[in-house]
Structure 1
Amino acid sequence: MASHVLLLATKDTIAYTRRDDRLAIASGTDLLDGVPADQLAADVTVEDVTAEPSWDMSPATMLALARRVRSAVLDDGFDGVVVTHGTDTLEETAFLADLLAGPAASRGGIVFTGAMRRLDELSADGPRNLAASIAAAADPRLRQAGAVVCVNDELHAARWVTKVDATGVAAFSSAPFPPLGRVVAGRVETLGTAPPRPPAPQGEPESDVALIKTYPGIDAALLTAAVDAGARGVVLEGTGMANVPVSLFTAISELTEWGIPVVVASRCRTRDVALEDMRSGTYGLAAGVGAIGARGLAAAKARIALMVALGTGSAEGVRAWFDGL
């Protein structure tokens, strides 16, 4: 019996084309019609999703997509789900879906894809990416991998993948980790081991989390201003081994005392360890004033993780959740 896959189409570049000098948007059914029937590895049901462009996508839309992915597998019995998404924030929505998937990750394939070229451009990459994604979502080899991003025939773990090129079709990388696999002739070939599954989500995620890039001379007032504006948590993008300027330490300590978690990530790749485990010489000093380490996550993904962790309802719960990430 053929696998049954749900296609959630959010438009963006994969669905864009020019007609009479105006931008036209293909529906999910139109996208599916662009894939030759003999290249479809599953029966596909299409749902068009109203969504902002990827570069302007709201947390509410991201959460709605993640919840629909989960319910499609657990409640509706689909063997897999494919989400077409703009590439700018594709990695964030995919990671959110991964964190909220729960048991859906072991029951069906969860695949996000997009395109770097419009449908009417020469050698458009969207139709091939879509065909490969449907094949991946239907393939049992993808069970337990959690959410993945499928582009350019490669499969990347949502936790590791990053958009590294805004112009070419080989736009995504998991470096220094390898891709989880690739799609060849409609089947998944595994290349690497998936990251461990994240802790189970608890409660409802918070959508208001601030992300602040630190720099020499940064004013600590930026942190308190974000909280005054309504942020329930703050992610700081530091340098090196999750270092942030000492001028922020008092503000971090105060926010922690107020029950506002502060997570420190890095603009570099770091080890997947707790921040306090980095404390050696001048590394990881923010742990001493209450900051939580991002466990090697890039800052944008640390923000997604903190949104989910805040569902635990307490600062202690957030810390424990990150310890298990």
Structure 2
Amino acid sequence: MASIRILGTGGTIASRSTGGGGLVASERIEELISTLSRRHTVTVRDLMVSGSYRLQLSDLRVIAQAARNALLDSTVDGVVITHGIDTMEETAFLLDLVHASPKPVVFTGSSRPLDSASPDGPHNLEEAVNAAASPDLRDTGVLVSFGGVVRSARGLRYASTLAANPFAGGTEVAHFIGDSLHVTARPLRPAPLPLPNEAFDAARVEIIDCSVGTGTDLFSHAVHAGADAVVLAGTGLGNAGPGFTEAVQDAVRAGCFVVLSSRVPEGPVIPTFGDGGGIDLVRAGALPAGDLKPPQARILAALLTSQPATPEQIQHVLTASPSGSNSS
């Protein structure tokens, strides 16, 4: 029997229908644990009760600090965090970046609310507790357990709004067969970064999408409005249209970091094309995001620019962060 700390933040798993007002996160974590099998000892703490689409960077800092405090408790073997699925990929990734303990942190949530005919939250929470309690998942960092599959936080993305398991990407670390957890891979772990500080709360990092005919006006506005960094959601291997090479160069000269990601769901940024493509954007000062997609690249940029970091340090983290895994 393991001792697991459950931290509640809200989300669909804590939501009920208000009729015409839609679903609203309203239930505290004590209500959610009533169906647990009690195979393990659990202690609970509510950090907030909110839909994850409402969270601010300051909330993510609170979650990260609470998880760190729980991990430092010698009586705690692992941590579970209940969270809305809208932005779970961002919060989980932030915690993975700063994770400095062998104990696992496991995020979970639900696709259906508590008062639906068949809520999935109770089963997901049961599996997340079992994953956090597993000695086989020590030293695997921050994970997301949902619909019987346990994935790494890095690379995770919300891929389907209606699927029972809405997540894709990342490394599949384990899966459940019945009540049994089967570990299939162990993510490679980078050195942890410092916890976010108060400056993180006010970090300004914007995402600019590059599509057919997209101009540089919004990009330049973000820079002039004081953005600490801008993430370009480039096309393909990391490209942007006419004018972006010059706009990136101007942004970098003004002290604004530019991170080049890709809007493509799978695969890394590999600067390949000239004529305003990735090769020229990088020469202008953009930092390739590797395999990070725009939402997670934004979280990394917010963390690093708030500490602060140099372009060389940011590029080192982007290139040093692992994308592979060790098979079990």
Asked whether the two chains share a fold, i.e. TM above 0.5, the reply is yes
Would the aligned equivalents of 1:135 and 1:187 in 2 still touch at CA under 8 Å? Answer: no
Q: Does 1:299 align with 2:294?
A: yes
Q: Does 1:256 align with 2:252?
A: yes
Equivalence for 2:192: 200
Q: Determine helix, strand or coil for the equivalent of 2:115.
A: coil
Would the aligned equivalents of 1:54 and 1:87 in 2 still touch at CA under 8 Å? Answer: yes
> 1:95 & 1:126 partners in 2: Cα distance?
21
The 3 A distance-change label for structure 1 pair 271 and 25 is closer
Report the alpha carbon displacement of residue 47 of structure 1 after superposing the two structures with TM. Answer: 0.3
Q: Determine helix, strand or coil for the equivalent of 2:252.
A: helix
> 1:233 & 1:296 partners in 2: Cα distance?
18
> 2:40 & 2:291 partners in 1: Cα distance?
36
User: TM-score if structure 2 supplies the norm length?
Assistant: 0.87
1:20-99, aligned counterparts within 5 Å? 25-35=26-36, 39-75=37-73, 77-99=75-97
In the alignment, residue 192 of structure 1 is paired with which amino acid? A
Equivalence for 1:155: 150
Q: Determine helix, strand or coil for the equivalent of 2:185.
A: coil
Q: Does 1:120 align with 2:109?
A: no
> 1:193 & 1:179 partners in 2: Cα distance?
9
Write out per-residue CA displacement over residues 255-282 of structure 1, whole angstroms, 9 at most, x where no aligned residue: 2122211001111145447x5xx33566
Report the alpha carbon displacement of residue 77 of structure 1 after superposing the two structures with TM. Answer: 4.7
The 3 A distance-change label for structure 1 pair 169 and 255 is same
Task: Give me the CA root mean square deviation.
Answer: 2.3
Would the aligned equivalents of 1:83 and 1:111 in 2 still touch at CA under 8 Å? Answer: yes
Would the aligned equivalents of 2:151 and 2:174 in 1 still touch at CA under 8 Å? Answer: yes
> 2:20 & 2:294 partners in 1: Cα distance?
39
The 3 A distance-change label for structure 1 pair 312 and 77 is farther
Q: Determine helix, strand or coil for the equivalent of 1:225.
A: helix
Would the aligned equivalents of 1:269 and 1:296 in 2 still touch at CA under 8 Å? Answer: no
Q: Determine helix, strand or coil for the equivalent of 2:84.
A: coil
Q: Does 1:145 align with 2:140?
A: yes
Report the alpha carbon displacement of residue 11 of structure 1 after superposing the two structures with TM. Answer: 1.7
Would the aligned equivalents of 1:242 and 1:270 in 2 still touch at CA under 8 Å? Answer: no
> 1:180 & 1:321 partners in 2: Cα distance?
23
Would the aligned equivalents of 2:261 and 2:297 in 1 still touch at CA under 8 Å? Answer: yes
The 3 A distance-change label for structure 1 pair 182 and 41 is farther
Would the aligned equivalents of 1:261 and 1:318 in 2 still touch at CA under 8 Å? Answer: no
Q: Does 1:290 align with 2:285?
A: yes
Would the aligned equivalents of 2:215 and 2:241 in 1 still touch at CA under 8 Å? Answer: no
Would the aligned equivalents of 2:237 and 2:268 in 1 still touch at CA under 8 Å? Answer: no
> 2:183 & 2:173 partners in 1: Cα distance?
6
User: TM-score if structure 1 supplies the norm length?
Assistant: 0.88
> 1:165 & 1:127 partners in 2: Cα distance?
21
Mind listing any 5+ residue stretches in structure 2 that lack a counterpart? 322-328
Write out per-residue CA displacement over residues 212-239 of structure 1, whole angstroms, 9 at most, x where no aligned residue: 1122332323223112323211101011
Write out per-residue CA displacement over residues 107-158 of structure 1, whole angstroms, 9 at most, x where no aligned residue: x111000001111212210000000000000111111211111110110111
Aligned residues: 312
Would the aligned equivalents of 2:11 and 2:25 in 1 still touch at CA under 8 Å? Answer: no
> 1:290 & 1:160 partners in 2: Cα distance?
24
Report the alpha carbon displacement of residue 312 of structure 1 after superposing the two structures with TM. Answer: 4.1
More strand by share: 2
Equivalence for 1:230: 226
The 3 A distance-change label for structure 1 pair 211 and 187 is same
Report the alpha carbon displacement of residue 7 of structure 1 after superposing the two structures with TM. Answer: 0.5
Q: Determine helix, strand or coil for the equivalent of 1:8.
A: strand
> 1:229 & 1:69 partners in 2: Cα distance?
33
Would the aligned equivalents of 2:215 and 2:242 in 1 still touch at CA under 8 Å? Answer: no
> What is the percentage of aligned positions where both structures have the same residue?
30
Would the aligned equivalents of 2:207 and 2:298 in 1 still touch at CA under 8 Å? Answer: yes
> 1:178 & 1:321 partners in 2: Cα distance?
19
> 2:216 & 2:25 partners in 1: Cα distance?
46
Q: Determine helix, strand or coil for the equivalent of 1:181.
A: strand
Greater shift, 56-65 or 223-232, is seen at: 223-232
